[in-house]
Amino acid sequence: MARLALGTDDLVDNPTPRVPVSLCLDTSSSMSGSPIQELVRGVNLFYDAIDEDEDAHDSAEVNIVEFNSSAGLVHDFASIERLQRISGLAANGTTAMGAGVNLALDTLEARKATYSGSGVLYYQPWLVLMTDGAPTDNIDSAVRRVVDLVEAKKLTVFPIGIGGGADMKTLARFSPNRDPLRLDGLKFKEFFEWLSRSVARVSRSTPGDSVKLDLEGLAGWAEL
């Protein structure tokens, strides 16, 4: 038998497949006060939870898009190692939800192109849309893009209504396969912890898996 001594040079060190997650957050003036503070706290807990999970830690890449009178990128996609905890978000202006969703989708497409260009495998991207109100801009093109992607199984979307004032009918337009969720009170912490666990489930999936999200796990804090 030939001598069998395999070193690291004999093997391929492939990168872990990535799960790109875009948090598309309403930072309009109605979010001022405790909602925006709780949202920031929830996002940071999300980062902590991802950091603590072995699978999510290696695979999750998160960005934040905010929308108020216009849309903007709070920070671009980064692995949890490079993500700085956010110190705060300013709440002001109107609710340009269409612009926000379009920007979030653009960032997801750009990230996928980056993965493809560098030979990194990836899972279906996630869009988490959170708002406490109703859009003040035209959302038609954003809705069409999201629905087309979801129906083509190229996007997982979580439209989340915050509080009693969220326009759930509008959010439902973004979610052809399941009803949007309404947070029960301001339980961002529970939502983001659930989201982190769900990212971990995806990153543990193997080829052929259609990952079933544990939506029942939301029952304690959200209306389905």
Partner 1 sequence: MFKEFHHQARGLSHLRDGTPVQDRTKYLSRGGVQVLCLADGAGSASHSQFGAQAVVDEGCAVLVERFDEYASSNDGVQVKVDLLDRLAAKVTATAERHGVPPDSLASTFLCVAVSGNRFLGAHVGDGVVGYLKHGDLRSISGPDNSEFANQTTFVTSGRALESMRLFRGALDGVHGFILMSDGTAESLYNPRNGELAAACTKLINAVGTAPGRQSKNSDYKKRLRRLVNITIRNATKDDCSIGILGRVVPS
**Binding-site ranges for partner 1 (CB under 8 A):** 1-2, 4-6, 9-14, 17, 55, 112, 118-119, 121-124, 154, 202, 204-212
Nearer to partner 1, 90 or 113 (CB): 113
Positive or negative torsion for Cα 23, 26, 32, 35: negative
To the nearest whole angstrom, how small is the minimum distance from the Cβ of residue 3 to partner 1? 8
Nearer to partner 1, 1 or 169 (CB): 1
Nearer to partner 1, 123 or 191 (CB): 123
To the nearest whole angstrom, how small is the minimum distance from the Cβ of residue 198 to partner 1? 14
To the nearest whole angstrom, how small is the minimum distance from the Cβ of residue 16 to partner 1? 9
Nearer to partner 1, 122 or 221 (CB): 122
To the nearest whole angstrom, how small is the minimum distance from the Cβ of residue 121 to partner 1? 4
d(CA 8, CA 66): 44
d(CA 130, CA 158): 8
To the nearest whole angstrom, how small is the minimum distance from the Cβ of residue 122 to partner 1? 6
Residue 69 contacts by C-beta under 8 Å, 6 or more apart in sequence? 28, 92, 93, 94, 96
Nearest residue to 79 via CA among 47, 107, 126, 45: 47
CA distances from 142 to 13, 135, 148, 192 (A): 38, 12, 10, 24
Nearer to partner 1, 50 or 97 (CB): 50
